[in-house]
Structures are given as structure tokens and as C-alpha cells.
Amino acid sequence: MSETNDIARLRGVGVKLGRSEVLRGLELGLAPGELCVLLGRNGAGKTTLMRVLAGTLRAESGSVRVCGADPSRSAAARAAIGFVPSLPDLPPWMSLTTAARFARRCYPTWDDRRLWRAADALAVPRRGRISKLSRGQAAGVQLALALAARPRLLLLDEPFAGLDAVARDGLLSAFLTEVDLEDTATLVSTHDLDIAARIADRALLMDGGALREQAVGDAQLEHSAAALRALLTQTTPGPDGAAA
């Protein structure tokens, strides 16, 4: 895939938070139709990278482009992005149905059938207020909304964390049936290497604020997961010294 077709492209991106250089000289391209998993030890910078791509954090150096524009400055670029943060951030009084009413107006590519399919797969209540839902259910609401928006760039920060086995299977099946869109690039951060090996076209490994790539390919899943685990153990913890 040529660089010019990339939905998202980072060039030489650097971010400093407090005194820590959290991202340095980051180079990344995300192409239509690919699903990349983002791996790395605690504190490696995965959430920071997601926020830079989502446009909620501005890089200090380098360039960030999503659909050709800087998402921290361009509303059009942000409308092409579906970002599900690791902690749900919808207003607590909303339900899936009321949130969908707002989201439908923001995304020209909105698809109601995908919304209800994803909600069913994730066993998300349609009417319960976010404040009355469990953390896993609230995460499911945000994910169903992001899938229904059919964004060009889908960013999911630890979507499998805190899910029970049924919700996890629902999410996996939603991934396998709904996420693999030809015109969407998807980036998923996770600490679950078995799931990473199962869903990924490509694995990105964060180490010391930089990225390394690892092909996942068609190798047997347990071999891929073992290879990813071996790679991860060779990486350094985040700049604050957090252990994996």
C-alpha cells in the first residue's frame, strides 16, 4: 500500500508530558482495511499515541494527518475518527438510544443497522442510563456507537479490558464481522496477546516512546501470541519505570 493512500500518517511525532518524553520521532502509517494492534508495557505510551491520533492531544513536534488534515485543528478530520477511550466518557444521563440520536447528526456515514447489531453482539442495554450501567456495559455503548459511525479511522483503547467472557466473545465476533471494513483503518491497544494474535493484520510494539512493527500474518495463533509475548519481554517499561 502506498503512503499516499494512508488514512492516518505520523511523521517524526514527539510528545512530552511533564518531564517525560513519552513519544519520540514516531513514524506510522495506517492504511484502509487494516487492523493493527498496539502492544507495549504499562506506561509505554499507547494511550498517548491514541490521543494524538484522535486529536485530543497536540504533538509538540512532527506532523499528524488523518484524511489529510491535523485532527487537533480540523473538525473534518475529527468527524472521520471514532475514538473509544479506555474509560468511558459519555455524559452519565445518556443511554445508547439518546447518544445515538446525537451521534447520528455528526457522522454522515452513520449506519443504524450496525448500531443495533453491535449492541446485540455486545449485550448492551438500549435504554439504561450510562450512570446505571457497569463499566463493561458502558464501554460496550461507546463501542457500538463507534462502529455505527463507520469512521475512516477507528481507535480503540483497551476495548477488551474488564469484559466478562460473554461480552468478550461478543466483542470478538463484532470485530470479526463488523470491524474489517475496506475503507477503515483500525488501531486497537490491548494487553491480551491471544486476542491480538487473533484479530491483527499487523502488530505495533511501543518501546521507549518509539514503535517497532511485527507481522502477525497467518502463523498459527498460539505461535503468534508466543512470539508477541517474547517480543514484549524484551521491551523497556514506560518512562516512569512502571512494570508490565
Residues near ligand ATP (CB under 6 A): 17-18, 20, 22, 40, 42-48, 238-240
The least distance separating ligand ATP from the CB of residue 46, rounded to whole angstroms, comes to 4
For the sheet containing 20-30, what is the strand order?
A: 20-30, 8-17, 61-66
Of 136 and 239, nearer to ligand ATP (C-beta) is 239
The least distance separating ligand ATP from the CB of residue 223, rounded to whole angstroms, comes to 24
The least distance separating ligand ATP from the CB of residue 4, rounded to whole angstroms, comes to 29
Of 17 and 31, nearer to ligand ATP (C-beta) is 17
Length of the chain: 244
Q: What is the spatial distance between Cα 215 and Cα 207, in angstroms, rounded to a whole number?
A: 16
The least distance separating ligand ATP from the CB of residue 150, rounded to whole angstroms, comes to 26
How would you classify the pairing of strands 61-66 and 185-189? Answer: unpaired
Cα dihedral 115, 29, 158, 59 sign: negative
The least distance separating ligand ATP from the CB of residue 113, rounded to whole angstroms, comes to 33
Of 44 and 144, nearer to ligand ATP (C-beta) is 44
Of 136 and 238, nearer to ligand ATP (C-beta) is 238
75, three cell numbers? 473538525
Of 20 and 56, nearer to ligand ATP (C-beta) is 20
Of 39 and 100, nearer to ligand ATP (C-beta) is 39
The least distance separating ligand ATP from the CB of residue 37, rounded to whole angstroms, comes to 13
Task: Collect contacts of 45-50 with beta carbons under 8 A, ≥24 apart.
Answer: 45/15, 45/206, 45/209, 45/238, 46/157, 46/189, 46/206, 47/85, 47/86, 47/157, 47/189, 48/15, 48/17, 48/22, 48/23, 49/23, 49/206, 50/83, 50/85, 50/155, 50/157, 50/187, 50/189
> At 157, phi and psi to the nearest 5?
-95, 105
Residue 56 contacts residue 83 (beta carbons within 8 Å): yes
